Amino acid sequence: MLKAVIFELYGVMIKSKAEPVMPPYMIDLIWDLHKNGIKLFVTSLLSGNEMQKILEPFSIASYIEATVPMKEIERTAFVLDQTIRPRDCILLTASQEGIDLANQAGMISIGYSDPHLSAPALWRAALLVEGFDEIDHTFLEQVYQDYHDDVPKTIVTTDRLLIREFIPSDFDALYAIWQEPDIRCFLEEFTNNYAIEKAKFTAYIQNIYPYYGYGLWGVFLKTKEQLIGQCGIELKNRKDTAVHEIGYLIGKQYRGKGYAKECVNAVISYAFDKLSAPRILAVIDKRNLKSIRFAEQNGMTYVEDRKGNHRICAVYERKPEAKPEA
């Protein structure tokens, strides 16, 4: 997960010493990254104190964690914050020196090449851009994921949550949630055997995500990356018709805080926008009164009862035009 972005002061944040103006789109980008919990740093050939004086007049100055001389960027973020590694950072730079230093440190470098100026080819950058007006947190997070093959795909983020693909190391935390009595009793085909469930979980990750491009995902607290549940979309065959079904559960200690509503609405919006799902179904065991009440309170409409697997389920649906309660 992307944790920090380092901006080169001149050429990126501010065009030049002669023109100390910060474009509105750069202020918007900094605000967007700050809102999504990304640590922000500024670097240049100047000293830290000199950079701070230049940044003081700008409204975003309070969002900057620190100013660090260019030659020290390889130890910038992870010296100031021990939870950040070099690989967790992206450097936005207009200089070849910045790119080389980032590459040496193991950071991702994005080079800015102004099409209106004659500038050296920043060919060693991981990515070249000709402007920042289209760049936001989502774009940079995608660059990060594309660059690191071992990073699980982030599906969507909300104000408080990160929803991403599961990885094998998530199993123990998820299995502990599955063991909660009021969750375990409603799980389909659950054996309550650790080894069997772990093998099924690993096979799911290896087969479902690559084949469909979606599935059941982990729900994490964005600030702590703490697993609190699961939520996702699966393609099921119902009455000889392929339908998109949502599944969701939240661990007991995290209920009553609005997390279920937050993740379900985000995943449904993702399904409509990215998967072009014409509707979303929720198939709920009729004994699970809390889940039925939750569906009704979040823009889902009852369709029918359905029998199968020794239980009776209520089927609810939500279509793109349906709006959840405020």
Question: What per-residue confidence (pLDDT) applies to 113?
Answer: 79
The residue from 147, 171, 191 where one domain ends is 147
Query: Model confidence at 322, in pLDDT bands (50, 70, 90)?
Result: very low
Residue 325 lies in a domain: no
The residue from 112, 147, 182 where one domain ends is 147
**199 and 246 housed in the same domain:** yes
**164 and 274 housed in the same domain:** yes
**158 and 203 housed in the same domain:** yes
Which pLDDT tens digit goes with each residue over 7-61? 998 888 887 777 778 888 899 999 999 998 899 999 988 887 888 888 888 888 8
Contact present, 314 and 305 (Cβ < 8 Å): yes
Which pLDDT tens digit goes with each residue over 222-256? 888 899 999 999 998 876 678 999 999 999 999 99
Evaluate if residue 118 carries a pLDDT over 60: no
**258 and 167 housed in the same domain:** yes
**161 and 297 housed in the same domain:** yes
Question: What per-residue confidence (pLDDT) applies to 82?
Answer: 66
Put simply, whether the predicted model's pTM sits higher than 0.85 gets the answer: no
CATH number at residue 125: 3.40.50.1000
Query: Model confidence at 63, in pLDDT bands (50, 70, 90)?
Result: very high
Contact present, 174 and 272 (Cβ < 8 Å): no
Contact present, 156 and 270 (Cβ < 8 Å): yes
Tell me the three-class secondary structure of 105-172, residue by residue.
HCCEEEEECCCCCCCCCCCCCCEEECCCCCCCHHHHHHHHHHHCCCCCCEEEECCCEEEECCCHHHHH
**15 and 96 housed in the same domain:** yes
What are the DSSP calls for 279-317, one per residue?
A: -EEEEEETT-HHHHHHHHHTT-EEEEEEEETTEEEEEEE
Arithmetic mean of pLDDT over the chain:
88
Question: What per-residue confidence (pLDDT) applies to 280?
Answer: 96
Which pLDDT tens digit goes with each residue over 267-315? 999 999 999 999 999 999 999 999 999 999 999 999 999 987 788 999 9
Residue 323 lies in a domain: no
Evaluate if residue 180 carries a pLDDT over 90: yes
Strand, coil or helix: 53: helix
**100 and 203 housed in the same domain:** no
> How large is the average pLDDT for residues 154-171?
93
- In order of 7, 40, 96, 112, the CA distances from 74 in angstroms are 13, 15, 15, 19
**112 and 35 housed in the same domain:** yes
**89 and 115 housed in the same domain:** yes
Number of structural domains the chain divides into: 2
**142 and 66 housed in the same domain:** yes
- In order of 15, 49, 249, 319, the CA distances from 52 in angstroms are 17, 5, 46, 51
Residue 326 lies in a domain: no
**183 and 53 housed in the same domain:** no
Type of residue found at 277:
A
Tokens standing for residue 25: 């789109």
Residue 213 lies in a domain: yes
Domain that holds residue 77: 4-147
Residue 298 lies in a domain: yes
Contact present, 163 and 263 (Cβ < 8 Å): yes
Per cent of the chain over pLDDT 70 is 92
CATH number at residue 222: 3.40.630.30
Give the whole-angstrom CA distance, residue 156 versus residue 23. 28
**176 and 285 housed in the same domain:** yes
Longest CA pairwise span in the chain (Å): 75
The residue from 147, 178, 200 where one domain ends is 147
